[in-house]
């Protein structure tokens, strides 16, 4: 029960203030635990992040997969892949994962984040192959780059609203820089 409360507090801290806000004193304050008690559950910030990734990334991926499964065409699957990830940016549970900066973490935490992203990217490979991509795995990684850029744009509070950013990301994913179907 305490572990869950600590993870909820970590999500809130990351969502509200990014990685700088995730400190053991802040976790203790949010949960009402003594700071030394936080160390009984997690040895470091990286350990908190690793557990968040282990818990939250599969949920994120499952939601993306459900959205993709509801699409009937490869193009629809690509659109669902992009839109669902961008829709999830506003969810506090998922914003925490997005807020994590891998450069501040130990190698184990960075590897878990990479593996989780790899699983997400793997979901779209088949749809890209069906669209005729000669290198669908590479295409999937590049597509995720478009999604990641759109996520950053939304997180920054860009001038465009999130729906406009999602529309532009879908257009880029499906039609490239021409911006229109060929």
| Higher local confidence (pLDDT), 120 or 180 | 120
Which structure tokens are listed for 78?
A: 């690509």
The mean predicted confidence, pLDDT, of the chain is 86
| Side-chain-facing half-sphere of 99: CA atoms under 13 Å | 23
pLDDT band per the 50, 70, 90 thresholds, residue 177 = confident
Query: Burial letters for 37-50: b for 16+ Cβ neighbours within 10 Å, e otherwise?
Result: ebeebbeebbbbbb
pTM recorded for the entire structure: 0.79
Using DSSP's 3-state secondary structure scheme, residue 158 falls into coil
Residue 63 has pLDDT above 80, yes or no: yes
Question: What mean pLDDT is predicted for residues 53-76?
Answer: 91
Helical ranges in 90-161 per DSSP H: 92-99, 107-130, 136-155
Phi first, then psi: give them for residue 146, nearest 5 degrees: -65, -45
| Higher local confidence (pLDDT), 163 or 156 | 163
Predicted pLDDT at 181: 65
């Amino acid at each position: 029960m305490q572990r869950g409360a600590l993870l909820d507090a970590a999500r809130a801290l990351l969502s509200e203030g990014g990685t700088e806000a995730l400190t053991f004193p802040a976790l203790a304050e949010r949960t009402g635990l003594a700071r030394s008690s936080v160390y009984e559950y997690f040895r470091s910030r990286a350990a908190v992040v690793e557990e968040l990734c282990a818990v939250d990334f599969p949920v994120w991926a499952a939601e993306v997969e459900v959205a993709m499964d509801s699409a009937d065409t490869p193009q629809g699957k690509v659109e669902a892949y992009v839109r669902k990830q961008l829709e999830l940016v506003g969810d506090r549970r998922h914003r925490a994962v997005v807020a994590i900066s891998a450069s501040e973490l130990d190698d184990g935490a960075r590897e878990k984040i990479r593996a989780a992203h790899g699983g997400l990217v793997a979901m779209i490979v088949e749809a890209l192959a069906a669209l005729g991509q000669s290198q669908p795995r590479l295409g999937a990684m590049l597509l995720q780059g478009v999604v990641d850029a759109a996520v950053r744009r939304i997180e920054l509070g860009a001038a465009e609203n999130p729906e406009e950013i999602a529309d532009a990301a879908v257009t880029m994913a499906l039609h490239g820089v021409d911006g229109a179907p060929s």
